[in-house]
Amino acid sequence: MCGIIGAVAERDVVPILIEGLKRLEYRGYDSAGLAVIDQQSLKSKKVSGKVAKLEQEIKDTLLSAPTGIAHTRWATHGKANYENAHPQISKELIALVHNGIVENYSKLRLQLEQWGYEFNSKTDTEVIVHLIHYHFNQSNDLLTAVRTSLQSIEGTYAIAVINPEVPGHLIAARHGSPLVIGIGIGEHFIASDIAALIPVTQKFIFLEDGDIVDLQRNSFKITNSGNPVKRAIHISQLQANAVERGQYRHYMYKEIFEQPQAIKNTIENRIHNSSILETIFGPSTHKLLKNINSVQIIACGTSYHAGLTGRYWIEKFAKIPCTVEIASEFRYRNPLPNSQTLVVTLSQSGETADTLAALNEAKQLGFGPSLAICNVPESAIVRMSDMVLMTHAGPEIGVASTKAFTTQLLSLLMLAVVLGKHNNMDHKIEHRIVDAINILPAQIENVLKLNSIIEQLAGDFADKQHALFLGRGIHYPIAMEGALKLKEISYIHAEAYPAGELKHGPLALVDSKMPVIAVAPNNILQEKLKSNLQEVQARGGQLYIFANHRAIMQELDYVKVIELGEVDDIISPIIYSIPLQLLAYYVALIKGTDVDKPRNLAKSVTVE
């Protein structure tokens, strides 16, 4: 989704802005641009398309300047074209980049048109820049103009603004969209995501809703509702090379193979003497979980599938009811609050607008304490929650989530144990789960050895339009995640069904052209699942069965079994998700799609 970077320095900031934009590319975008103040005049460049194109065009113009703002745009209002790209500029004087959505833009546009402003784009953003221009004319002060303008804006925003009449100043503000100040030596930066600034600083300040900052080379002033405020400085541990692709062809491939290490990092310091430590969720966990009698999980996308899987563990081991809901639905459903319900948000980025809003809604309604399971330490969801468990997967750049998903699953398994201990769970069960967790990295290494087998298998899917994924019990959400992965990066229409539901509709779709992928580990539901697979076989469907052992079904031309070997039942959802990630990856590779940045999708969805 849209990305912002800005800088005020003594040196030329153009290479910093371009590098920052490249580091924001993973979020998903379709146009890019920048504006700088060069010797008191405003210069800008925009392209429809990739940052590399912008970089090339800038090289040709030899642009260089000490103050500038830049943006990657993911289209919401108006097509992904040159006119709609940011920066948006008003009367060659004010340049602005914006993340978020202006909800009352039609009304503001009418007003501005009456005041004589001409609109060159279809964006909601353009109203903000003209408003600032209008108020700058009144006050001749950029900070005042921004503050006054924002009072009329309804919706969400993170903005950065420059004006050549006040060179050496960059004004930025946030309301509902993340924005962070980067503190350098004799220079300051602004960005929507710290990843953009890691090459230039590790010192950050996270702005809060309502904050406006006046950034200069040697100082910055943050105000909120017109009053000066102080915000804490955070030192990030993120290394610049942690977000580099190295020798790997794609981030997604790198991230799939990082899973054994990511899982080890999630486990580290969380288990002692075969016991999962309650304090991993924060110092007040014991008090906060004491009276919990139910769990409400809220998430979007892949994180939602992790939640659906976690529900089985929570109900089985902690023996308390758990419901899981898509955040965008939860926030508008008027759910009935219960102060003894633990609200768990799952989010890789910690910035997903719907998940944030749903958490807010749960708090307002009077639900119980909140726990965030998240991969980004300084994110909004983490800062808003009473308890936190960081997944420690390391930065995930591929839009299609892989290692963040498996580490979320592990985190939910640990949560189930901690909740279980509050509910008199037998120690033997905890030890049994801890044993399974400890062998997880090795089991993942094993299953990754299927790499070349799955690469070959992928050829069967390249010409397919549709695919059906089946699972039962706790492996049904894993089938859902497998279908989502294939859909996201190979653009094949894929659906997942609980296998028992096959005969209630989807069986009508099965013919020799429909590949059916079954997640079929050796568990108490396997026999039932086999009967469902026979139903597919009887109708000539092509079966691809992921199972512990080849013996599950006789291999025929149209029945392929992918053998995963002995897998511990407790952790099998984590293990079985990995070959499905590889399958989606290889199918996308054959189809030649943009694996890491699939069309129309964004890594971090910061708008509703």
Number of residue whose CB is nearest ligand G6P: 301
Residue 401 binds ligand G6P (CB under 6 A) = yes
Residue 303 binds ligand G6P (CB under 6 A) = yes
* CA pair distance 343, 330, nearest whole angstrom: 12
Which residues are within 8 A (CB) of 472 and not within 5 positions of it... i.e. 6 or more apart? 498, 499, 500, 525, 528, 529, 532
Select which of 46, 560, 597, 603 is catalytic.
603
Which residue, 159, 94, 170, is CA-closest to 131?
A: 94
Residue 411 binds ligand G6P (CB under 6 A) = no
Cα angle 153, 154, 160 (rounded to 5 degrees) comes to 50
Choose which of 265, 302, 385, 411 interacts with ligand G6P (CB under 6 A).
Answer: 302
Residue 371 binds ligand G6P (CB under 6 A) = no
Select which of 2, 300, 322, 374 is catalytic.
2
Residue 394 binds ligand G6P (CB under 6 A) = no
The two structure tokens encoding residue 259: 């899973």
Nearer of residues 31 and 401 to ligand G6P, judged by Cβ: 401
Choose which of 159, 300, 457, 499 interacts with ligand G6P (CB under 6 A).
Answer: 300
**What is the closest distance, in whole angstroms, from the C-beta atom of residue 226 to ligand G6P in the complex?**
33
Cα–chain-centroid distance for residue 294? 26
Choose which of 131, 160, 166, 605 interacts with ligand G6P (CB under 6 A).
Answer: 605
Please confirm, yes or no, whether 203 is among the known catalytic residues. Answer: no
* CA pair distance 573, 559, nearest whole angstrom: 22
**What is the closest distance, in whole angstroms, from the C-beta atom of residue 484 to ligand G6P in the complex?**
8
User: Residue 56: phi, psi to the nearest 5?
Assistant: -65, -45
Asked if residue 164 has a cis previous peptide bond (ω within 30° of 0), the answer is: no
Nearer of residues 489 and 564 to ligand G6P, judged by Cβ: 489
Which residue, 31, 128, 124, is CA-closest to 77?
A: 124
The footprint of ligand G6P on this chain (CB under 6 A) covers a number of residues equal to 17
Strand boundaries in 184-301, DSSP class E? 188-191, 203-206, 211-215, 220-224, 227-228, 234-235, 271-272, 275-276, 294-299
Q: Which stretch binds ligand G6P (CB under 6 A): 34-42, 244-252, 439-447, 596-604?
A: 596-604
Residue 156 binds ligand G6P (CB under 6 A) = no
**What is the closest distance, in whole angstroms, from the C-beta atom of residue 577 to ligand G6P in the complex?**
13
Nearer of residues 74 and 317 to ligand G6P, judged by Cβ: 74
Angstrom distances, CA of residue 146 to CA of 73, 129, 138, 301: 21, 9, 12, 35
Instruction: Map the footprint of ligand G6P across residues 512-541, applying CB under 6 A.
Output: none
Nearer of residues 93 and 601 to ligand G6P, judged by Cβ: 601
Where on the phi/psi map is residue 155: left (φ > 0), alpha (ψ -120 to 50), or beta? left
Which residue, 79, 166, 161, is CA-closest to 123?
A: 79
Residue 399 binds ligand G6P (CB under 6 A) = yes
Angstrom distances, CA of residue 76 to CA of 21, 457, 511, 601, 608: 19, 37, 39, 12, 10
Residue 601 binds ligand G6P (CB under 6 A) = yes
Please confirm, yes or no, whether 322 is among the known catalytic residues. Answer: no
Residue 352 binds ligand G6P (CB under 6 A) = yes
* CA pair distance 23, 474, nearest whole angstrom: 36
Nearer of residues 6 and 573 to ligand G6P, judged by Cβ: 573
Choose which of 84, 349, 532, 537 interacts with ligand G6P (CB under 6 A).
Answer: 349
Which residues are within 8 A (CB) of 228 and not within 5 positions of it... i.e. 6 or more apart? 221, 222
Instruction: Map the footprint of ligand G6P across residues 423-482, applying CB under 6 A.
Output: none
Residues lying near ligand G6P in the complex (CB under 6 A) are found at 300-303, 347-349, 352, 355, 399-401, 601-605
Give catalytic residue positions: 2, 603
